């Protein structure tokens, strides 16, 4: 390396200087011997020779200091070389692509990941313009982005389609920082390049309905009519069964505000109601998920989003039911909601998989149990509902 050559050159120069100094010492010693042999007073000339000797000693001390400084310089160069190699490895082996370009976007440096993403060897990539890898329809947008970069002192981000050399287009996230020269003009652009393809595939996987929330988490089992404990820092995921969610109105009467079916989430963290109760309407299995875990895990938060949306949609359906003026309309709307949430197709129609009491119907429809009993009997006489041998409701013509 050039650093090693520099070390050798410096050492040779110091050695040559030391040899010349030793040769000068020998000449001074010879001169001193000659003066001593001359018939002159002892105090006449030796003073000059002594001064030369003193100067020679100072030169020797200077040479020693040069050797020490050279050793320190070599140690410093070794440390710098190790750090350079370390940062070069970090640059080359980084999981994301890194590029350095001039202000016009001409590539000057590229790491291994960038060459793989763009499918170009480094020796062919250097000197190429970044815009040559941008999809044709987005190149003007990219030019405008480059033009505006010098106006911003902070890092800028860009989502754009890039095309591999001889390959397919892929969506990429670019983060670019500008470096400036002493005159304050843009000098270099430093690019961080990420392929969004894998992350989007991950998002699609998280959106699948068969995402396993119970993996590595224990199942909590509750029997029918058992009250489920609620923790403000916990969200429950329904793995199996049905959970009734209720609150109390001003008259201290129970109001049904939700039915958590399999695949749905609930918990006191998700409500602002002062009184909130969860009761299992069947043998139920739940998974406990900590709110802190959700906050710390973007992937888990993303997977829970459609589940929370499901609860929101059901809540709006309950609001629609409570807003209907006629009780029989509220009942039929509630039966339609049950058909959607817990209905299963049978020969006679749609069977509700869970038996709700008349009190449950009354709480959901904001009426009395007696009124519900009368309206259900009327629907049965009309042939619109039917009770099987196990007293489960079967809906026939409730559309």
328-384 pLDDT tens trace: 899 999 899 888 888 888 888 888 888 888 888 888 888 888 999 999 999 989 888
For the chain, how big is the Rg over CA atoms in Å?
42
Question: Binning pLDDT at 50, 70 and 90, where does residue 272 land?
Answer: confident
pLDDT at 80 over 80: no
Pick from 282, 264, 287, 289: nearest CA to 222 = 282
216-231 pLDDT tens trace: 678 899 998 999 999 8
**Residues 6 or more apart in contact with residue 181 via CB below 8 angstroms:** 187
pLDDT at 389 over 90: no
The pair of three-digit structure tokens given for residue 113, joined into one six-digit string: 């990941």
27-68 pLDDT tens trace: 666 666 665 566 655 555 556 656 666 666 676 676 777 777
Over residues 187-200, the mean pLDDT reads: 78
On whether the CB atoms of residues 118 and 164 are closer than 8 A, the answer is yes
Output the pLDDT for position 61: 72
Backbone angles phi, psi at 193, to 5 degrees: -120, 120
Output the pLDDT for position 10: 65
The pair of three-digit structure tokens given for residue 337, joined into one six-digit string: 């909601």
What's the rounded Cα separation, in Å, for the pair 117 and 176?
Answer: 17
Q: What is the 3-state secondary structure of 331-357?
A: HHHHHHHHHHHHEEEECCEEEECCCCC
- Looking at per-residue pLDDT, the higher value among 84 and 144 belongs to 144
The pair of three-digit structure tokens given for residue 199, joined into one six-digit string: 């992350």
What's the rounded Cα separation, in Å, for the pair 141 and 158?
Answer: 10
Output the pLDDT for position 374: 93
Q: Give Cα 368 distance to the centre of its chain.
A: 52
Mean pLDDT for the chain?
80
> 264: how many CB neighbours lie within 10 A of its CB?
19
Output the pLDDT for position 208: 47
What's the rounded Cα separation, in Å, for the pair 224 and 221?
Answer: 10
pLDDT at 201 over 80: no
- Looking at per-residue pLDDT, the higher value among 76 and 7 belongs to 76
On whether the CB atoms of residues 114 and 101 are closer than 8 A, the answer is no
Strand, coil or helix: what is 329?
helix
pLDDT at 204 over 60: no
E strand or H helix at 258: strand 254-260
15-27 pLDDT tens trace: 776 676 666 666 6
Output the pLDDT for position 220: 92
Between 3-7, 191-195, 215-219, 304-308, the lowest mean confidence (pLDDT) is in: 3-7
> 192: how many CB neighbours lie within 10 A of its CB?
17
pLDDT at 248 over 80: yes
Question: Binning pLDDT at 50, 70 and 90, where does residue 147 land?
Answer: confident
Output the pLDDT for position 286: 94
The fraction of the chain above a pLDDT of 70, given in percent, is 76
């Amino acid at each position: 390396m050039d650093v090693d050559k520099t070390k050798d050159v410096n050492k040779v120069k110091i050695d040559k200087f030391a040899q010349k100094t030793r040769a000068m010492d020998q000449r001074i010693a010879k001169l001193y011997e000659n003066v001593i042999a001359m018939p002159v007073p002892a105090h006449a000339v030796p003073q000059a020779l002594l001064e030369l000797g003193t100067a020679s000693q100072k030169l020797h001390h200077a040479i020693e200091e040069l050797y020490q400084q050279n050793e320190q310089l070599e140690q410093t160069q070794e440390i710098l070389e190790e750090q350079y190699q370390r940062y070069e490895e970090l640059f080359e082996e980084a999981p994301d692509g890194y590029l350095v370009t001039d202000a016009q976007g001409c590539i000057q440096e590229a790491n291994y990941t960038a060459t793989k993403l763009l499918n170009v060897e480094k020796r062919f990539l250097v000197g190429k313009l970044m815009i040559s890898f941008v999809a044709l329809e987005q190149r003007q947008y990219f030019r405008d982005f480059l033009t505006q970069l010098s106006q911003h002192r902070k890092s800028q981000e860009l989502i754009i389609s890039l095309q591999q050399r001889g390959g397919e287009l892929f969506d990429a996230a670019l983060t670019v920082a500008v470096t400036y020269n002493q005159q304050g003009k843009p000098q270099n652009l430093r690019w961080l390049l990420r392929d969004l393809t894998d992350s989007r595939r991950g998002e699609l996987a998280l959106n699948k309905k068969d995402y396993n929330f119970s993996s590595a988490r224990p199942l909590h089992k509750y029997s029918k009519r058992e009250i489920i404990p609620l923790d403000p820092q916990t969200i429950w995921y329904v793995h199996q069964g049905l959970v009734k969610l209720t609150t109390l109105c001003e008259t201290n009467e129970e109001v049904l505000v939700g039915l958590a079916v399999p695949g749905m989430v609930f918990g006191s963290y998700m409500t602002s109601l002062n009184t909130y109760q969860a009761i299992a309407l069947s043998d139920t299995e739940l998974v406990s998920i900590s709110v802190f875990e959700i906050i710390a895990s973007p992937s888990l938060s993303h997977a829970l989003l459609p589940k929370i949306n499901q609860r929101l949609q059901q809540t709006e359906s309950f609001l629609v039911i409570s807003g209907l003026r006629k009780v029989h309309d509220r009942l039929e709307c509630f039966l339609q909601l049950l058909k959607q949430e817990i209905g299963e197709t049978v020969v006679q129609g749609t069977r509700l998989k869970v038996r709700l009491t008349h009190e449950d119907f009354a709480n959901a429809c904001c009426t009395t149990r007696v009124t519900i009993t009368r309206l259900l009997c009327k629907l049965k006489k009309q042939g619109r509902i039917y009770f099987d041998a196990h007293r489960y409701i079967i809906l026939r013509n409730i559309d």
